[in-house]
Amino acid sequence: MTRSKARGYHHGDLREALVASGRKLVEEKGIRGFTLRECARRAEVSHAAPAHHFASMDDLLAELVRRGFAELTASMTTEAERVAEDEPASRLVGLGVGYMAFAAANPTLFQLMFSREANHIEAKAGDEGAASLRPLLAAVLDDVLAEASDEVRQQAADFAWATMHGFITLVLEGEIGGGDSSKALKARGLATLAAMAETVVRLARP
């Protein structure tokens, strides 16, 4: 690496370069193969340069987690908005589609977002990110369960999230769909989400 190249990043560029290299490293090596030194090498800066933006490996991982949750929220919102507002059960399925799509595209980051492995991540980053998903579910469930009690809505939110997370986690672990084609696996996921939404709708019935 030449001296001129090491100086090539400006203040704002370096942070983004480290985040980008860190994101790729997480997906390739997982948390056990993650180091600030390797992130710096991939960003083509000195091994001391990350300290200007991230005091430790934990800080960079926490930033990846925060951004991951922002992307997950956006993915869920986009899929839900593809459905008409007067079809709340279908929008609930859309949230699940967005959830699973993000996880499938970013498997290691997704697992990291919900992990406390070796305490390498600030608990606050993960807790705040996970908490941001609840309003998405609540907004849709308010329409599906307009007349239901708060207790029923909470049960529905827990059930919906557990279904989304549980299915895709089992897929990522190879426990579901190991021998399925991509098309068949997507069909299984949609069927699971549809069954979840149908069960939630039943909770609204007296």
In the structure encoding, which two tokens stand for residue 145, read together? 């369960």
Inter-residue contact 176 to 188 (CB < 8 Å): yes
Confidence class for position 205, pLDDT limits 50, 70, 90? confident
CA distances from 34 to 23, 57, 137, 150 (A): 10, 8, 33, 43
* pLDDT at residue 45 in the model: 76
Q: Which of 75, 69, 52, 63 is nearest to 22 (CA)?
A: 63
pLDDT tens for each residue of 83-118: 988 899 999 999 999 999 999 999 999 998 988 654
CA pair distance 121, 117, nearest whole angstrom: 8
CA angle 111, 117, 119 (to 5 degrees): 130
* pLDDT at residue 6 in the model: 44
In the structure encoding, which two tokens stand for residue 112, read together? 């990291």
The amino acid present at 190, given as its one-letter code, is: L
Which residues fall within 8 angstroms of residue 88, CB to CB, at 6 or more apart? 140, 141, 143, 144
Share of the chain above pLDDT 70, in %: 84
Q: What is the mean pLDDT of residues 110-133?
A: 70
Confidence class for position 193, pLDDT limits 50, 70, 90? very high
* pLDDT at residue 38 in the model: 85
Euclidean distance between the first and final Cα of the chain, in Å? 69
Inter-residue contact 158 to 150 (CB < 8 Å): no
* pLDDT at residue 4 in the model: 42
Give this prediction's pTM.
0.84
Confidence class for position 8, pLDDT limits 50, 70, 90? very low
Give the single-character DSSP code of 33: G
Report the greatest alpha carbon distance in the chain: 72
Which residues fall within 8 angstroms of residue 87, CB to CB, at 6 or more apart? none
CA pair distance 80, 83, nearest whole angstrom: 6
Q: Which of 107, 96, 106, 174 is nearest to 137 (CA)?
A: 96
